[in-house]
Amino acid sequence: MNSFLFYFILVPVIVIALLGLNLFFAQSKPNEEKLTTFECGFSPVEQARQKFSIHFYLVGILFLVFDLEVLLLFPAAVSMNSISQSGFWILLFFLIVLTVGFIYEYSSGALNYTNKDKES
């Protein structure tokens, strides 16, 4: 039996054993605060199904996308001496696409928090 198949059998057995031990030995002591509507301690003020602005979430998603793309620039900068001319042009194309995407994002107003429209 090879080691890869051994891990496919061993890991689920260990996981099930640890989960079983946790269910058997762990103590569950919920207090009043944990049993309330919100575990953070705040009482609900309004209905949960009302419309809200999603601008913060859009900015968060855009940050993740651009942050991960900028993260790819570090290995390229470190290995710039050893890449060929085609690698340089691929990196330059990547930077141009990144810049055009950021300019489009900025010009479309995706980063504008002062939008008065609360239903978007």
The number of CA neighbours under 13 Å toward the Cβ of 34 is 4
Q: Per residue in 18-63, pLDDT tens?
A: 999 999 998 877 777 666 666 555 666 666 666 766 777 777 888 8
Residue 116 reports pLDDT greater than 80 = no
Which sign, positive or negative, has the C-alpha torsion 104, 110, 111, 115?
positive
Per-domain residue ranges of the chain: 3-27+32-107
Question: Cβ-count burial of 62 within 10 angstroms (0-12 exposed, 13-18 middle, 19+ buried)?
Answer: middle
Domain 3-27+32-107 has CATH 1.20.58: yes
- CA angle 58–60–105, rounded 5-degree value: 55
As a whole-number percent, the residues of the chain with pLDDT over 70 amount to: 76
